[in-house]
C-alpha cells in the first residue's frame, strides 16, 4: 500500500509567500510531516523580506 503524498508548496508572488498544503488524501489535515514543512517555509520566509503569507489548500 502506497503512503499518501503530503507536501507544502511554496510560491513567491512579489513580497507575498503563498503556501499551498497538498495532502488531499486527508483533506489537508495537519499531520506532523506537513506541519514541519509549513514551519520550515514560514521560518525561511521570516528572513527574506516577506510581508505577507497566504495559506491555502
- One digit per residue, the tens of pLDDT, for the chain of length 57 reads 566 678 899 999 999 999 999 888 888 888 888 899 999 999 988 877 899 999 998
What are residue 12's DSSP bridge partners?
17
Bridge-based pairing of strands 16-22 and 7-13 is antiparallel
Q: Please, what is the Cα angle at 44 between 6 and 15, to 5 degrees?
A: 100
Residue boundaries of the structural domains of the chain: 7-56
Q: How much is the pTM?
A: 0.79
Q: How confident is the model at residue 1, as a pLDDT?
A: 56
**HSE-up of 47 (CA within 13 Å, CB side)?**
4
Q: How confident is the model at residue 3, as a pLDDT?
A: 65
Looking at the domain that runs over 7-56, which CATH code has it been given? 3.30.300.220
Give the H or E element holding residue 45. helix 32-45
Q: How confident is the model at residue 2, as a pLDDT?
A: 66
Q: How confident is the model at residue 18, as a pLDDT?
A: 95
Q: How confident is the model at residue 34, as a pLDDT?
A: 87
Class of residue 6 by CB neighbours under 10 A (exposed 0-12, middle 13-18, buried 19+): buried
Amino acid at each position: 500500500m502506497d503512503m499518501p503524498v503530503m507536501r507544502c508548496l511554496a510560491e513567491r508572488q512579489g513580497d507575498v509567500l503563498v503556501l499551498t498544503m497538498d495532502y488531499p488524501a486527508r483533506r489537508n489535515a495537519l499531520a506532523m510531516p506537513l506541519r514541519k514543512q509549513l514551519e520550515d517555509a514560514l521560518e525561511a520566509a521570516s528572513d527574506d523580506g516577506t510581508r505577507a503569507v497566504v495559506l491555502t489548500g
